[in-house]
Amino acid sequence: MSYAKVIVNLALDKDFDYLIPQALEGKLEVGSQVIVPFGSSERRGYVIAFAERPVHRGEIKPITSVCGDESKIPSSLIELGKWMADYYCCSQEQAVRSLLPGAVRRGMVKPKTVTYYELGDKAEYDKVTGNPRLHSQIRVLKLIEKHRRLTLPALEALAGTGRSVIASLLKKGALNAVAETVGRDPYEGVEILPSRPLELNDEQSSALKRITVMMNDTAKKSRVLLLYGVTGSGKTEVYLQAIAKAIEEDKEAIVLVPEISLTPQTVSRFRERFGDMVSVLHSGLSDGERFDEWGKVSSGKVKIAVGARSALFAPFRKLGLIIVDEEHEHSYKQDKAPRYHARDVAVMRGLMEKAVVVLGSATPSFESYHNAITGKFEIERLSKRADDCLMPEIRVIDLKLESAREGKTHYFSQTLVTAVRDRLARGEQSIIFLNRRGYARQMLCEHCGFIAECPDCSVPYTYHKKKQILSCHLCGEHIPAYPKCPDCSAEDIRYSGAGTERLESTAAELFKGAVIARMDSDTMNTHDDYEKVLNSFKKGDIDILIGTQMIAKGLHFPNVTLVGVINADLSLHMPDFRAPERTFQLLTQVAGRAGRGEIKGEVIIQTFSPFNPAITAAVENDYEGFYEEEMEIRGQLGYPPEKHLMTVYLKGPDTDKLSDFSSKIMESLKTFISEDIIVSPPSPAPIERIKGKYRYMIIFRGNKLRRLRNALRQLLYTSKIPADIEVYVDVDAVNMM
């Protein structure tokens, strides 16, 4: 007898032994989805290993059945899931669950079928067509004879007849109904014009050659390349030609983009080059589309998977290349268990499957750049824009001086207003960037000082004028906007701080006749909204595009010659050690949208901190100098990438209980904290309360955290944690708020 170790869909971090019945001998593999008896019911689970004898004592129940091949996870991904569970302090079940879409995992979605009607028995056909009184049936048969086969809707529309006529023909045998499985295409109806490889410049050719050598040399120790190229340097063309090389060697490729909003544009570039060899995997698809796209990858019908974070787990068996575009983006870090970073898991998957991993960015994360200059990763630089386009000229507007001169601070400085009007006169386009949505940051009563705050979170409500609501951007709750102060009934309410909605309103007043569009999470409600606006902008139907960070990266519009940054300070003064790095990245990325055509671009940055190192480095495009300056500070404080960082979060309704329990956790971990580990003891998080729950955090920094990490994982799944307290660990945390 042989046994299988199975994990079920419960966060127990425990596998269970099951007997493999004789009928299933030889039909199971690591990664097979099975139905098993569990307690008084049955559950779906995954085989993660086999054993000759069970570890658990007592009765060993047999596996009930095995599910179809479409839900099977490759054994290499099961191993990756085990590593994720260990490294990111989550259960095995949570890690394996993240490896495939819920639509596949739950087994609720079935293949889509379409019924076609074809001619049936020839003798019955002759009987019907020989009887002139059956004119409706004759019309149906003649239509099918002409078109060979038709669906029911098409047949009803063309014949102008009811279903009873078709049912009669089916009963006679003159018609046959044939059901066929068809794929759900998320890009059905989208016209794709094939593209050809472009001629590469010397730097691009060098990068492609390095990637090709790395793919061919499977014994090579370093299999990660940082492609550090300025905005507009042609990184995507290098990706495309590297994938072509992989396909020539009968290998497969994964392309990750940081957000769903980037996916349609990226997918178009890859489909134009590779046609039907491309599959798309992201959470914006319907369950049916995700089921079919996963199936195309799993069955080997496609060679390339493009998508956001979850596309990393595309079930390829001959993976040769993983590309992580905009690798510095923090949206690659998942904010719920397993709290993995897609960039780092991509590196691990590449190591396990001997695939090359290319990390691309104009503003590399400090972690990746540190790994490159210390020899852990290889590096290729693209120092100039493709097609010899010039880098944009960047000007800084000191809002303190502007305010002193004008007597108040305007959202659009006079310099920016003049620059936008100049572009409108020349028929060129402008992008205006502000990384805050809504109309105003807060509602303030000037009479009594009342500020409208979310009762469940430690933040003020944001005012949305069009909907006349006050909304909390942390928990999502909203209430009708107050017509007067709820405390003192005064009507002199002031809304302070601008968001993109107010900018749109102000721009409409300043730039009469201009066509203005806004892109933020308030206006982009559906999967198609993003594409519609970008297509209109691309065609020149929009003069000014206003938006948040979703317009700051990955977009290529040659007619954009001006980018205006309304307030560069928003992300600069956050209580997070990465705030300067994020500000530099955001400014550099949004500046890179300007001047991608024949006309040199201009960027106007408005700030109250014109001499801050992050802003001056972005203006001078001096990544290396900024990195060196920041690393001096991080080295002294022991922050990444100098050391690893791990945060323990505690959430609950009672702040005193959180404080007490966090102290108990610290006490239980004392023996696992070595001398080289820096500990920031339990304290309230910068955002102290979200959704009615208070938040505490403990921060550990060090280069040898494995023993402590294992102790924390053990604590999470074996210790008794109060029912009203949630504890989780964020390894390599990127959000310190």
User: pLDDT tens digit string along 166-198?
Assistant: 899 999 999 999 998 888 887 777 778 899 999
Q: What is the CATH number of the domain that holds 624?
A: 3.40.50.300
% of the chain at pLDDT higher than 70:
99
Domain boundary among 58, 76, 99: 99
Q: Which helix (H) or strand (E) holds 168?
A: helix 163-172
Please tell me whether residue 527 adopts helix, strand or coil conformation: helix
Considering the domain boundaries, does residue 338 fall inside one?
yes
Is residue 315 domain-shared with residue 415, that is, in the same domain?
A: no
User: pLDDT tens digit string along 50-94?
Assistant: 988 888 778 899 999 998 877 889 999 999 999 999 999 999 999
Q: What is the CATH number of the domain that holds 677?
A: 3.30.70.600
Q: Are strands 16-19 and 3-8 parallel, antiparallel or unpaired?
A: antiparallel
Is residue 531 domain-shared with residue 654, that is, in the same domain?
A: no
- Structure token digits, residue 467: 């909907």
Is residue 289 domain-shared with residue 223, that is, in the same domain?
A: yes
Considering the domain boundaries, does residue 736 fall inside one?
no
Average pLDDT, integer, range 459-486? 93
Considering the domain boundaries, does residue 287 fall inside one?
yes
pLDDT at 676 over 70: yes
Domain boundary among 154, 182, 210: 182
Please tell me whether residue 660 adopts helix, strand or coil conformation: helix
Is residue 46 domain-shared with residue 136, that is, in the same domain?
A: no
Is residue 398 domain-shared with residue 383, that is, in the same domain?
A: no
> Which residues constitute the domain of residue 339?
202-387
Instruction: Count structural domains, the chain.
Output: 5
Is residue 261 domain-shared with residue 349, that is, in the same domain?
A: yes
* DSSP letter assigned to residue 274: H
Is residue 339 domain-shared with residue 268, that is, in the same domain?
A: yes
Considering the domain boundaries, does residue 443 fall inside one?
no
3-state secondary structure 111-165: CEEEEEEEECCHHHHHHHHCCCCCHHHHHHHHHHHHHCCEEHHHHHHHHCCCHHH
The pLDDT of residue 262 = 64
The pLDDT of residue 79 = 95
pLDDT at 640 over 90: yes
The pLDDT of residue 718 = 86
Considering the domain boundaries, does residue 243 fall inside one?
yes
pLDDT at 403 over 90: no
CA dist list (Å): 500 to 28, 462, 478, 542: 55, 12, 18, 16
Give CA–CA dist 187/169, Å, rounded.
36
Is residue 399 domain-shared with residue 521, that is, in the same domain?
A: yes
Residue 260: which of 332, 368, 341, 362 has the closest Cα? 332
pLDDT at 535 over 80: yes
Grade residue 263 by pLDDT with cuts at 50, 70 and 90. Answer: low
pLDDT at 49 over 60: yes
Is residue 52 domain-shared with residue 138, that is, in the same domain?
A: no
Is residue 210 domain-shared with residue 351, that is, in the same domain?
A: yes
Q: Which helix (H) or strand (E) holds 287?
A: helix 287-298
Is residue 427 domain-shared with residue 566, that is, in the same domain?
A: yes
pLDDT at 412 over 90: yes
Domain boundary among 182, 216, 232: 182
Residue 265: which of 251, 253, 255 has the closest Cα? 255
pLDDT at 261 over 60: no
User: pLDDT tens digit string along 201-221?
Assistant: 999 999 999 999 999 987 777
User: pLDDT tens digit string along 642-651?
Assistant: 999 999 999 9
Give the type of residue at 115: T
Considering the domain boundaries, does residue 397 fall inside one?
yes
Is residue 219 domain-shared with residue 281, that is, in the same domain?
A: yes
The pLDDT of residue 413 = 94
The pLDDT of residue 608 = 94
Helix segments in 312-440, DSSP class H: 342-353, 366-373, 399-406, 414-426
Q: What is the CATH number of the domain that holds 27?
A: 3.40.1440.60
pLDDT, averaged across the chain: 91
Give CA–CA dist 29/48, Å, rounded.
9
